[in-house]
Amino acid sequence: MHLPWQAPRVEAMARQAPIAIRALAAGLRKHGMTNPTALQSLAKLILKQGADTPDTIHAWAQASRKLSPRLRQTILKLTTIPQTRIGPHPLLAHLASGGMGSVYLSADSNDRLTVVKLLKNDRQSDPRFTQRFLRETAMTQRIMDKYVVRCLDAGCDPDDEQCYLVLEYVQGGDLRNLIRRSGSLTEKEALTILYQMARGLMAAEAEDIIHRDLKPANIFISKNGMVKIGDFGLARTTDQERTILTLDGTIVGTPGYMSPEQIRAEDDLDIRSDIYALGAIAYTMLCGQPPFEGEPSAVFRQHLYDPPPPLQSTLAPLNPRTIKTVYKCLEKDPKKRFASASALAASVRKTITHIGIAQQPCLAEETIARSIPYDQEISAPQPSSEPRAISPEYHKPACSERGQDGANSVTATLTSGPKHTTITTQAPPPYRQDHPPPVSAGYDTENKNDAGEVTLAADLTLVESTRAEPSFCGSLNDAITDDWITIRPSDGNLEQQVLCYARSNLVFGKLRSAPCDVCLRLYPLTEHQEACQRISRSHWQLAYDTQRFCLTVCDLGSGNGTLLNQRICNPHQLWPLEIDHVHQIDIPNSITLDIRIIPQRSIQNTTLIPGTQPESLGIDSAMTLDGAVITRRTNRPEMQIVQVLRCVSVGNNGDCTVPAPGTSDIARYGGRWITRAHGGSTWHPIIPGENVPGLNWTAQPASWNDFH
């Protein structure tokens, strides 16, 4: 297995490429957008165009047509830099913006990558923010330890009086990504990380420094498997883990990992407050979620007054010594915790020895790989609030009650009258690591030239096509332009129909109007009024996720809830769908649907009709899926819904199976509907009211009356 920096020729490229291109590649790795071979291809292309500074790379990305929209957008974001340098440090790539400022990649005099953090200009007028920034500088520079991210430089630019901090660049991942992609860690992994974090705190404790904002996002994992604590004292805001800094300095930290005394804003905090945070991080590693979750005020109350839920790994039973160590860190009274970081490290080391785990100086390569968001291995979203119940009597069990079928699964009992139904709910699973990944960078990593080198291609190719060169017969102007069509038998059978949508997002609900796309009803309505009432006006959504390259299901806050594969969907949370099996959607006591994802099976074609501009959907798009077919289990199963992202076959041997004499491929191109006989090479326009070639059904622009 190659990590992102270990692929053949990538290390040599990294040594030879201009520093701006190396910074861009590092930024793309942090975004998890590409693989090592694709990085090399991209670097070669940029060098060929003579772009070797952030400005010239930015201009090239704006003009290039060889990049997918997502890759172009990310490159433009990385190279949008308001100033070229701060003090003596060049600013090469924009990584993030947070509560106190922005984060950039830079380089030292030896062209080694570094990280520069700038204090926001609008904060300069507040001396407390500036003082805290300078305080972190002084504190961090005193810590020299392999388990802590080093502070290399700091200062205030004389031109605009902007404060900056220069830190060691850690090539690798972080603990937040590792937990997201793993669900929960093995006991060996968690203890190894906890031991190294404790060693890092020992170095801070020796300098009389406390961190006050320890959380998984601040624990970095280097390429050699070493754990490093970063962001000493720096407040930072993200969507999932919000760091809170009050202007009067009373509360600093992240709610899920704050000690009781930190919440009370006590003045005499010591290292035991950070030890509490390490206990919360250890709990998260083993259990897959923090000990307390919810709104900040609720989490604060739980930290102050509630014992942590029972700790039990979802992977294997934990040794009692491990549980005891974590609980001792999480004691409400600081006097009952470990008195020092060295005491915690010694306890963890004894636990490792006692349970017979070989103590490793660093993490295994496979663990390091899971800490890095690359090659489209999609991480599960952060757990949201309480799962929505189908009945008022839903109870969310503690971590120890979880089942063994998922990283974050729990078993819930739903009460409905005298009967009880047991249903499993879980946090959205990560994309399977053995799943064939789409090509995220927008080019084909399998396309090689005569010399065997990987070259950039305009096509997104997952399966090499041996079909003859495609052609087009007829006038594209005659084709249907509406993004929603219905295809029916030519004999006028109104019950049998296929509704095709060229839309990346489909909203399902009982409305026969916007914002719904698909009307869900049971027929005849007079016999199924009660079941139809259980369907919300806008109930759930099927959407293509451009960050994960997959289709997702999302409950839109429905009153009756949505079940995906017999698991309750937390409302307003994206649940990724894999392509290797049929997914079941249930609206309880109402309707059941099946969803089958169609993988991309042909190359992106941009030469069908010269001069036609690529669309966001269609055979000339960068979509990594061909589409999806949604069928009803019962009650009008002959009405089928097809989401056409690129191309889907319909017919007696198609993705969407119907009793037709043949099979046709249905696709979008240039904003219009086109078709061909399944497997053929000649495309035709889909003309209103005329037979679809190969299928012998007719197509028309659809309307809400089709849901009769």
User: Tell me, what's the pLDDT at 100?
Assistant: 64
Percent above pLDDT 90 for the chain: 41
Give 579's Cβ-side CA count (13 Å radius). Answer: 21
Name the range with the highest mean pLDDT among 31-45, 98-112, 190-204, 564-578: 190-204
Q: Which residue has the higher pLDDT, 652 or 415?
A: 652
User: Tell me, what's the pLDDT at 436?
Assistant: 32
Task: Give the least confident one: 431-440, 601-610, 612-621.
Answer: 431-440
Percent above pLDDT 70 for the chain: 74
Name the range with the highest mean pLDDT among 116-120, 334-338, 455-459, 520-524: 334-338
Which tokens belong to 134?
Answer: 């300078």
pLDDT digits (tens, 9 = 90+) for 303-322: 999 999 998 776 778 999 99
Q: Does 2 score more than 60 pLDDT?
A: no
Task: Give the least confident one: 126-130, 266-270, 382-386.
Answer: 382-386
CA distance 453 to 554: 42
User: Tell me, what's the pLDDT at 364?
Assistant: 81
Confidence of residue 413 (pLDDT cuts 50, 70, 90): very low
Q: Is 603 in contact with 461 (CB distance < 8 Å)?
A: yes
Q: Which residue has the higher pLDDT, 140 or 83?
A: 83
User: Tell me, what's the pLDDT at 314?
Assistant: 65
User: Tell me, what's the pLDDT at 569?
Assistant: 87
CA 235 to chain CA mean position, Å: 23
User: Tell me, what's the pLDDT at 32?
Assistant: 73
User: Tell me, what's the pLDDT at 424?
Assistant: 34
- Average pLDDT over the chain, rounded to whole? 78
Q: Does 234 score more than 90 pLDDT?
A: no
Which tokens belong to 93?
Answer: 């790539």
- Which domains, and CATH codes, for the chain? 10-168 (3.30.200.20), 172-370 (1.10.510.10), 471-706 (2.60.200.20)
How confident is the model over 328-356, as a mean pLDDT? 94
End-to-end CA, the chain:
55
Name the range with the highest mean pLDDT among 66-80, 225-239, 362-376, 660-674: 660-674
What pTM was computed for the model?
0.55
Integer angstrom CA distances of residue 644 from 79, 575, 623, 647: 34, 20, 10, 6
Angle between helices 271-287 and 187-206 (to 10 degrees): 170
Q: Catalytic residue numbers?
A: 213
Q: Does 176 score more than 80 pLDDT?
A: yes
Q: Does 154 score more than 70 pLDDT?
A: yes
CA distance 365 to 359: 15
pLDDT digits (tens, 9 = 90+) for 499-528: 999 999 999 999 999 899 999 999 998 899
User: Tell me, what's the pLDDT at 4?
Assistant: 45
